Amino acid sequence: MPKFLHTADWQMGRTYSRFDTEDGAALVEARYEAIERLAALATEHQCDAVLVAGDVFDAQTVSDRTIRRVFNATRGFDGPWVMLPGNHDAALAESVWTRAKRLDAVPKNVYLALESGVTPLPEQGIAVLSAPLTQRHTYGDLTQPFDDMETPPELLRIGLAHGSVQGLLPEDIDSTNPIAPDRTETAKLDYLGLGDWHGVREINARTWYSGTPEPERFRNNDAGYVLIVDIKEPGATPKVTRHETARYQWHQWRESLSVPSDLDELLHRISQLPEASVLDLKLAGTLTLAGDQKLTEALSIAEARYRAVTCDRTRLQLEPTDDDISALLADGYLGEVVQELRESQQAVDKGSDAEVARDALAILASLLKPKDAEVAQ
């Protein structure tokens, strides 16, 4: 019974400049660890091969070190690997793949499917029909030649491609690199392993996207898995099981705050996240000064607990209550300043001035709070 692991969209060499240097480095390292985990999975489940459906690398210009590290990470599985160029690492005349060959970085058990054709793996009972991208964007279906490719009858016909299945993915998905939804039927494929969609997605019983093994963005599309595929014999229906490989979970929340309970609920949800989380918050609405200080403290704790936390407060307006003002002891001139900042936030012609006013209110509150605490003592 041939069994293989299907993965794609490793995007090695990807950087995370939006995060702090420490967090970005950890997210990069997690991608190498993901390759090591899937290699271990392939060995543990006694897979016959690992098939990578494109975008092994994030760009043609990745460093030599990245190239070497990627192939080093595959050492945990001694069986054959078949790697397909995708739109990020297309098989150009001069590409990341030709550099890998010059570096002598490609292990003997790794097959680079740089041309359309068949990679026979007779010992594994598999014939891999490959449709590599030789440029970033194409407008013809590169899997069409599968219909005419001949393979030994005793071997499974496994297609490997990178692109968009037409008519079945969301409308905002890139329309280039099209793939016919009935390719498994026309080409008599036992299975078609796809890359480009970064989450697990079943197109039909024989056609699957594996998604990326380590999430790298906030899209909620079931990323962080690989697929192990069992097919008893040519013509049999595949048994597809997914296995989690993600180190980090990515969460993107868009929240509107209007009453104190909204903030309490948000902070409770933040506290319940697993430690291996990447959190991106964008907040809107209104918040009291006391609530803003509570939020700031909670985010400071979260930043130390989780992998990465970012928070955009540009649409969050501070509305000090009478209790806020009283707690600040903002009498006289300070009271006038607070009132002026409140009015600046509420100006009809909002812009950078409103943001400055909001930030100034928050800073003023933080500076005056210790003084208030000393008086209370």
| Measured distance CA(287)–CA(291) in Å, rounded | 6
Whether pLDDT at 361 is above 90: no
Of the candidates 187, 201, 181, the one whose C-alpha atom is nearest the C-alpha of residue 157 is: 187
Whole-number pLDDT of residue 377 = 40
Q: Taking residues 280-301, report their average pLDDT.
A: 92
Residue type, 27: L
Domain 3-244: give its CATH code: 3.60.21.10
Whether pLDDT at 370 is above 50: no
State the pLDDT confidence band at 371, using cuts at 50, 70 and 90. Answer: very low
Token pair in block for residue 352: 């950078």
Of the candidates 26, 24, 55, 44, the one whose C-alpha atom is nearest the C-alpha of residue 196 is: 55
State the pLDDT confidence band at 293, using cuts at 50, 70 and 90. Answer: confident
| Measured distance CA(281)–CA(302) in Å, rounded | 12
Which of 8-12, 141-145, 210-214, 291-295 is the least confident region? Answer: 291-295
Of the candidates 84, 17, 95, the one whose C-alpha atom is nearest the C-alpha of residue 56 is: 84
| Measured distance CA(190)–CA(185) in Å, rounded | 9
Q: Are strands 207-209 and 201-204 parallel, antiparallel or unpaired?
A: antiparallel
Over residues 67-112, the pLDDT tens digits come to: 999 999 999 999 999 999 999 999 999 999 999 999 999 999 999 9
Which of 96-100, 141-145, 220-224 is the least confident region? Answer: 220-224
| Measured distance CA(342)–CA(365) in Å, rounded | 13
The ranges assigned to domains in the chain are: 3-244, 249-376
Q: What does the mean pLDDT of the chain come to?
A: 89
| Measured distance CA(328)–CA(289) in Å, rounded | 10
Over residues 26-67, the pLDDT tens digits come to: 999 999 999 999 999 999 999 999 999 999 999 999 999 999
Of the candidates 262, 296, 283, 285, the one whose C-alpha atom is nearest the C-alpha of residue 365 is: 296
Over residues 227-246, the pLDDT tens digits come to: 999 999 999 999 999 999 99
Q: Which residues of 299-313 are buried (b: 16+ CB within 10 A; e: fewer)?
A: beebbeebbbbbbeb
Token pair in block for residue 285: 């609405």
More reliable by pLDDT, 40 or 177: 40
Whole-number pLDDT of residue 175 = 63
More reliable by pLDDT, 125 or 322: 125
